A and B are shown apart, each in its own frame.
Chain A
Amino acid sequence: SQKIEQNSEALNIQEGKTATLTCNYTNYSPAYLQWYRQDPGRGPVFLLLIRENEKEKRKERLKVTFDTTLKQSLFHITASQPADSATYLCALDGFADTGRRALTFGSGTRLQVQP
């Protein structure tokens, strides 16, 4: 069956360092992959979208890579700041087991940036 895996353990890094979060998937044919940020008590907020034929996408301090051979996406935040502390969700836009297109979310990785 389809599975999306994100590191369930929190990632703790020092301010100024680069944070790298991983999203692995199996049994999917995603057309797009999206990354969202979720703060405690709030709804997810869209950050970046990358297409299946794109290797890399950047937006300010954010960078996303998408390797459809490895079935993996990496999400990088460079020069991290305490304000970047949040849970980051990856979401695969592709065909679910039902054969219908859907956006399916991973459980997210919590990032904690220490000052």
Chain B
Amino acid sequence: DTAVSQTPKYLVTQMGNDKSIKCEQNLGHDTMYWYKQDSKKFLKIMFSYNNKELIINETVPNRFSPKSPDKAHLNLHINSLELGDSAVYFCASSQVPYTGTGRSAQETQYFGPGTRLLVL
């Protein structure tokens, strides 16, 4: 019973191609995220969705487009792949959204196994 799953696990593709990564969580969480982990192991947030609504969109090229068909799924579509897109992409989910300025209790994030993208 995988809590957060991603497909595919590995993705090798040519520059200029368009690809998608799928993510599903069965935890009943309201919020889902996409992170990119580069070769230096920095984990950077890309997007956050709460109940199918985009709430965080960091400085990410518009070639990256997240799509949330329902609150259990958050897919990442990447157009015109570039060499610099090579990284590990992690999907995550949490019960509590990161939205405004409140300091209410925050829950932890549950990560998927990652998708290793290599652009040649």
Binding site for B on A (CB under 8 A): 31-32, 34, 41-46, 49, 87, 89, 93, 95, 99-105, 107-108
Q: CB within 8 Å of A: which residues of B?
A: 4, 40-45, 56, 90, 92, 98-103, 106, 108-114
Interface majority SS (helix, strand, loop, mixed), chain A: strand
Give the docked Cα–Cα distance between A46 and B94 (Å).
Answer: 11
Q: Is the CB of B111 within 8 A of A45?
A: yes
Interface of B is mostly: loop
CA of A24 to CA of B113 in the docked complex: distance in angstroms?
Answer: 27
| Residues of chain A within 8 A of B109, CB atoms compared | 44, 46, 103
Q: How far is the CA of A102 from the CA of B106 in the complex (A)?
A: 11
Given contacts A46-B109, A46-B110, contact A31 B103 (CB under 8 A): yes
What are 13 A-B residue pairs whose CB atoms fall within 8 Å in the complex?
Answer: A34-B108, A42-B114, A43-B90, A44-B43, A44-B111, A46-B109, A89-B43, A100-B56, A100-B98, A101-B99, A103-B45, A105-B44, A107-B41
The answer to whether A43 touches B106 (Cβ under 8 A) is no
Known A32-B106, A95-B101, A101-B100; 6 more pairs at CB < 8 Å: A43-B92, A44-B90, A101-B99, A102-B98, A103-B45, A104-B45
Known: A31-B106, A32-B106, A43-B92. A105 touches B42 (CB 8 A): yes
How far apart are the CA atoms of A45 and B92 in the complex, in Å?
10
Contact partners of A89 in chain B: CB under 8 A:
43
How distant is the Cα of A107 from the Cα of B112 in the complex, in angstroms? 18
> B108 contacts A46, CB within 8 Å?
yes
For residue B42, which residue of chain A has the nearest CB? A107
B107 nearest CB neighbor, chain A only: A49
Find out whether the CB atom of B114 lies under 8 angstroms from the CB atom of A43.
yes
